[in-house]
Amino acid sequence: MTGAEMAGAEMAGAEMTGAEMTGAEMTGAEMARCRNGCNRSPIFHIPIRDDSIDYEENFCDLAETMSTNQAPKQAAAAPPAPPKNGKEAAKEGSKEGAGFTEDRFKTFNITGADLLKFDLPKFIRKLLRKNGAPKAVKHEIKDVHVLLERVRDVYMADRCALIEVPHPVNICGDTHGQYTDLLRIFNACGAPTRTRYLFLGDYVDRGRHSMEVIMLLFALKLALPKKMYLLRGNHELKAINKNYGFKQEVKNVYRDLGGEHGECLYNHFNEVFTWMPLAAHVAGRILCMHGGEYGHVTSFFAFFSGISPCLTSLNAIREIPLPLETAKSNNLACDLLWADPEAKATAFAPNKIRAISNIFGPKQVDELCRKLDLDYIIRAHQVVEYGYAFFVDRRLITVFSASRYQEELHNYAAVVIIDADRELSFLQLKPEEFDQRRDELEAAGTREPEQTTANVPDPKTPEKSQSGNSKKQ
């Protein structure tokens, strides 16, 4: 997966002075409305610095909620805890939706007692206490297995590749093991106890803290199922994450237990991934998916993908059978993760470069929006300089939520915010506030040069920002 240069997107960017700027102050350059007709919602460009946010206030709120056992009550919708002994567990496991069979107890070396004593609030608090510190958070391996079993049961109960997500909601792109950025997002947008989130996949690989990212998101999904929605990305495919860091990270964290324990846990994560949904229908008007890669395509349109000739209706996504071991086993699922766009394409065509999936053009995007009655398609997967980008009359949006994604990049992270009126805004996190990288440099006795925003284009003239660069993840 090598990068390729591409032409830039329409980027927003007038600088603001803090996270608590009022609506009256956000006028002119700070709030450029772009109405596009077709009864679509206006888009607001709202770049926000989050350096004035109190980390402790938001996380104390979340930790307090966990402590008062509100989260476990909400998690009660998941299948009940299994009995204490293996025989009773096997009997319970035979019931529809219950995954705790005797064989699974043996495979993961857990007991009914382990399941009963699992403390979800404590598990979450341990992750939050680190508050983005570079050191890994190590839970008892049995607790991680229990978490995965419970999350797996939640997804087994839903068993649908397309989920319906209400609004308001915050939509996040790739996090790729950048735990600090995940915590910064919760700080800037609000703790999940108060705010709804939709993540578009690619939680693992690349970054150094994939386990912390996916464990916190899974724990929050279990604790707050109506506040936390998670889609599957292409790095939640075993064929991908075995090569790009996640497998080795899991084995390293539990290397003191022996390699077979880390291998078993890694396989358990990937089993849960096979049950995750592939797309989300937001507010009845927006289709979200992770999207595919662009390979060697160098056009600006290559920011966006995930369109398929098999996508004739939303039911086509709903009918994708789960669990899905590999993307190749289903044409539509494959396209949702791997389809390549091409600016000059006038119709769907086989992807000869990749020998998998297809290519498509702007015409197919417009046709799909009309056919499915969509205002927007939002996807992730592509690092963009300012965290988000537009194309095709602003009907396609890409969002990327890992700042300073690679050493040589100083990209922003961003979040798409959909409010109660279905209006879109964008929150940006500046790369120089990537605390994990800064702390590592300071510990080594070096500092990074301060990053400026002089090159951030004025949102009033987005057409002038067509010269930025983007790299494939």
- What DSSP character marks residue 256? G
Q: Write out pLDDT tens, residues 411-461.
A: 999 999 999 999 999 999 998 644 455 555 444 444 333 332 323 333 222
Q: What is the pLDDT of residue 456?
A: 31
Q: Which two tokens stand for residue 137?
A: 């958070």
Mean pLDDT of 378-385: 88
415 beta partners = 172, 427
Q: Does the residue 20 lie in any domain? A: no
Cα separation, 221 vs 229, in Å, equals: 7
Number of domains in the chain: 1
Q: Does the residue 14 lie in any domain? A: no
Q: What secondary structure does DSSP assign to 1-49, as a single string?
A: ----------------S-TT--TTT--GGGS--B--STTPPPB------
Cα separation, 99 vs 323, in Å, equals: 13
CATH at 222: 3.60.21.10
- The pTM of the full predicted model, rounded to 2 decimals, is 0.74
The better pLDDT of the pair 50, 3 is held by 50
From 235, 261, 281, 381, the catalytic residue: 235
Location of structure tokens 């194309």: 391
Contact 210, 246 (CB under 8 A): yes
For residue 328, name the pLDDT band (cuts at 50, 70, 90): low
Does the annotation mark 209 as catalytic? no
Contact 307, 360 (CB under 8 A): yes
Q: Does the residue 363 lie in any domain? A: yes
Q: Does the residue 303 lie in any domain? A: yes
Q: Does the residue 7 lie in any domain? A: no
Question: What's the mean per-residue pLDDT of the chain?
Answer: 71
- What DSSP character marks residue 170? E
Q: Does the residue 4 lie in any domain? A: no
Provide the residue range defining the domain that includes 234: 28-472
**420 to each of 102, 225, 417, how far by Cα in Å?**
46, 20, 10
Q: Does the residue 263 lie in any domain? A: yes
Q: Does the residue 12 lie in any domain? A: no
Mean pLDDT of 156-183: 96
- The mean-pLDDT minimum among 35-49, 90-104, 165-179 falls in 35-49
Q: What percentage of the chain carries pLDDT values higher than 70? A: 57
